[in-house]
Homo-oligomer: A and B are copies of this chain.
Amino acid sequence: MKKFINAVDQVENQMILGMVKAYPNHLRKLDCGNVVVRAAKKEGKVALISGGGSGHEPAHGGFVGEGMLDAAVAGAVFTSPTPDQILEGIKAIATDKGVLMVIKNYTGDVMNFEMAAEMAEMEGITVKQVVTNDDVAVDGSLYTVGRRGVAGTIFVHKIAGALAETGADLDAVWAVAQKVIDNVRTMGAAIAPCTVPAAGKPGFELNEDEMEVGIGIHGEPGTHKESMRPADEVADLLLDKILADIDYSGSEVAVMINGSGATPLMELFIINNHVADVLAEKGIKVYRTLVGEYMTSIEMQGFSISLLKLDEEMKALLGAKADAPAWKE
């Protein structure tokens, strides 16, 4: 395993410290563990918290900032944060407007966030939650009951975060977060695995002519292997599953071409070139496109396509001011 790290047991801590040192005007790290909060707490708004295992950078710390999250909790790589850690995050950001937890659907994350919420409620903090489940590749997996929450989660951070910033109440912020979840779908593929530092070896093996289709974001194999093919055909494969899942016809969408960590922008733009053409042919209007790394799997070579079906409220909130390290608007 060749990585620019110092010690396997220092990866998460040194990463979070390095992130906070890069963005001191945006981020502050709690003393109690790998929890990142806004440098300046804002009262009078619903506080948003998200998180999960590390290894998805810039998610989620990079999305802490004005118009997005108030806190991000980082567990060990691909490992749920502990309830105690999440509770510290909730307590640090809680306001009298309450707290919304944005949880990606993985059994461990859901369990630990819910446990933290119960503890917070006992301390008088009002907590609601949404669970993202945008991955159309699988209906369940080793790690999940139901669909997995993947890159589409970032749209929840952005849109619910923008509404929270206006001072909207917890029910309204919860409702728009849930609306995003109801309207976003994602699917991914990979041509090379990633290596979890503590494991020291890649999560799967692929021959030179193979790819994994239906990958999650925790380094696990996809739903199946297929023969490698031209980028446009890979994009079609993913798009077809997404477009079959909800009716996007005649609607406006936000598109995210998300890199898994080691896929160059060159390839993500080539994919977007085709995705844009296919959507245009189908009469689906692209309102906004995001190309880059939003929800990674360390250095996996892969990508996902997300489509969010928009309405006027979501369009306005997607374009509202944001000032987080990884999303400025």
Residues of A within 8 A of B (CB): 2-7, 11, 14-19, 21-23, 54-55, 57-58, 62, 191-192, 208-209, 211, 228, 230-232, 234, 257, 261-274, 276, 286, 289-291, 293, 296, 298-299, 301, 303, 328-329
Give CA–CA (A280, B3) in the complex, Å. 25
Closest to A279 in B: B21
On chain B, the residues within 8 Å of A192 by CB distance are 2
On chain B, the residues within 8 Å of A267 by CB distance are 3-5
Contact A266 B17 (CB under 8 A): no
Q: A4-B234, A6-B232 are in contact. Are A57 and B11 (CB under 8 A)?
A: no
Sample of 29 A–B contacts (CB below 8 Å): A2-B301, A4-B234, A4-B263, A4-B267, A4-B270, A4-B303, A6-B230, A6-B270, A15-B273, A16-B269, A17-B273, A18-B273, A18-B274, A18-B276, A18-B291, A21-B273, A22-B257, A22-B276, A22-B290, A54-B266, A55-B264, A57-B264, A57-B266, A57-B269, A62-B265, A261-B264, A262-B262, A264-B299, A265-B293
Contact A269 B3 (CB under 8 A): no
- 7 closest Cβ pairs, A-B complex: A18-B273, A18-B269, A262-B262, A57-B265, A4-B267, A21-B276, A18-B272
